[in-house]
């Protein structure tokens, strides 16, 4: 009888411990708009792999790519409200609706290299923007990569700024892109990313602007004829998590999430860089005429005063833009 009672008690204790562990387990929904090959989903997969490894499965992540949980704006709203734990979205796309300062990354021709961009993002903007995200109920975990943005279109080859005039170009849903259109003379047309392929195919717009990996992974090269490697802006992605969800984690769980975010950022950047040359070759193979050496000075001259325009100053304090410029100069000085 005593042995039976002992076994029953042991079984009850084991069951209680299992139930406690099950209750302690953390599950996360991580949403992206891109497909499985898109930069955002590459970062999400790296985060999932690392946080589940670090936590020994105590934190589990379910990925929702392909805009399953909405557009970038809807996913950001979901994170703010807590219906989605985490998302990875274009930093200067839908996020300026919540944190206008992220739109500083839309100021054209700030960076000449990815190394400059990484330095400014990780060593200046991450700390600068963190409290502004928290005020919106989000925690900004890390910056990932979309890459330098380039124009494509179906009308004519672009080799200089004047060639942009009159083209209808899909842009992100953020006011600063209308200022860029004004400077370069094209017609800015906001269209959701998941609707862009069809819009290009049907001629709703003449062209679009995105990094090489986005153009390749989304097959825009199937429905575009011309591309210019002007690199007008460096596009980052923001990995954001609901602040209340994050604050309820234990210190150990927060450490796992933080480390996984840093790992995802580093891993995704390396993966995107490794694939970019091959993706550009693929774009050319699809018949796209690529201008690799445009007259960048004409683009820079046309947009030099953009950050001082009233419509832009209302969104991004010129002092922030100049602080980014100073951080770039700081990096360059350190490389000499």
Long-range interactions of 131-134: CB distance < 8 A, separation 24+: 132/99, 132/101, 133/98, 133/99, 133/240, 133/243, 134/243
Residue 94: the pLDDT is 82
Sorting pLDDT into bands at 50, 70 and 90, what band is 10? very low
* Lowest mean pLDDT across 29-43, 165-179, 184-198, 311-325: 165-179
Sorting pLDDT into bands at 50, 70 and 90, what band is 22? very low
pLDDT digits (tens, 9 = 90+) for 141-157: 999 999 999 999 999 99
pLDDT digits (tens, 9 = 90+) for 159-218: 999 999 999 999 987 778 899 999 999 999 999 888 999 999 999 999 999 999 889 989
Separation in Å, CA 123 to CA 3, 115, 163, 235, 294: 63, 12, 36, 17, 31
Sorting pLDDT into bands at 50, 70 and 90, what band is 93? confident
The domain tally of the chain equals 1
Sorting pLDDT into bands at 50, 70 and 90, what band is 11? very low
Residue matched to tokens 């996020």:
95
pLDDT at 5 over 60: no
Domain range spanning residue 64?
A: 2-335
pLDDT at 310 over 70: yes
pLDDT at 17 over 80: no
pLDDT at 316 over 70: yes
Nearest to residue 81, comparing CAs of 38, 29, 144, 128?
A: 29
Sorting pLDDT into bands at 50, 70 and 90, what band is 41? very high
Separation in Å, CA 22 to CA 63, 132, 187: 21, 35, 54
Sorted by sequence, the CB contacts under 8 Å of residue 116 that are 6+ apart come out as 328, 331, 332
Sorting pLDDT into bands at 50, 70 and 90, what band is 311? confident
CATH number where 101 lies: 3.40.190.170
Two structure tokens written together for 94: 């839908």
The model carries a pTM of: 0.83
Strand-strand pairing, 26-31 and 187-190 = unpaired
Query: What is the sign of the dihedral through the CA atoms of 163, 168, 173 and 176?
Result: positive
| Angle, helix 176-184 to helix 296-303, in steps of 10 degrees | 120
Sorting pLDDT into bands at 50, 70 and 90, what band is 18? very low
């Amino acid at each position: 009888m005593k042995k039976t009672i002992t076994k029953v008690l042991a079984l009850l204790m084991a069951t209680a411990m299992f139930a406690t562990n099950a209750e302690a387990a953390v599950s996360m929904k991580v949403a992206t708009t891109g497909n499985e090959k898109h930069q955002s989903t590459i970062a999400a997969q790296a985060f999932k792999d690392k946080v589940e490894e670090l936590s020994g499965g105590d934190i589990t992540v379910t990925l929702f790519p392909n805009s399953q949980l909405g557009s970038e704006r809807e996913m950001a709203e979901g994170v703010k409200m807590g219906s989605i734990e985490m998302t990875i979205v274009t930093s200067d796309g839908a996020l300026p609706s919540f944190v206008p300062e992220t739109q500083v990354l839309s100021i054209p021709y700030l960076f000449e290299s990815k190394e400059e961009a990484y330095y400014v993002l990780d060593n200046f903007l991450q700390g600068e923007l963190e409290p502004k995200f928290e005020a919106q109920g989000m925690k900004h975990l890390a910056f990932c990569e979309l890459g330098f943005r380039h124009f494509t279109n179906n009308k004519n080859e672009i080799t200089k700024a004047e060639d942009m005039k009159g083209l209808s170009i899909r842009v992100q849903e953020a006011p600063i892109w209308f200022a860029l259109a004004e400077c370069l003379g094209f017609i800015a047309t906001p269209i959701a990313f998941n609707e862009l392929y069809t819009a290009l195919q049907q001629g709703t717009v003449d062209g679009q602007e995105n990094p090489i990996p986005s153009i390749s992974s989304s097959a825009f090269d199937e429905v575009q004829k011309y591309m210019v490697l002007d690199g007008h802006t460096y596009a980052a992605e923001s990995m954001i998590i609901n602040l209340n969800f994050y604050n309820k984690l234990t210190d150990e769980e927060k450490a796992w999430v933080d480390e996984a975010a840093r790992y995802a950022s580093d891993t995704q950047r390396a993966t995107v860089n490794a694939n970019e040359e091959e993706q550009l070759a693929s774009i050319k193979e699809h018949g796209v005429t690529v201008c690799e050496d445009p007259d960048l000075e004409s683009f820079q001259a046309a947009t030099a005063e953009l950050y001082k325009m009233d419509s832009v100053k209302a969104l991004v304090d010129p002092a922030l833009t100049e602080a980014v410029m100073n951080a770039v100069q700081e990096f360059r000085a350190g490389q000499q």
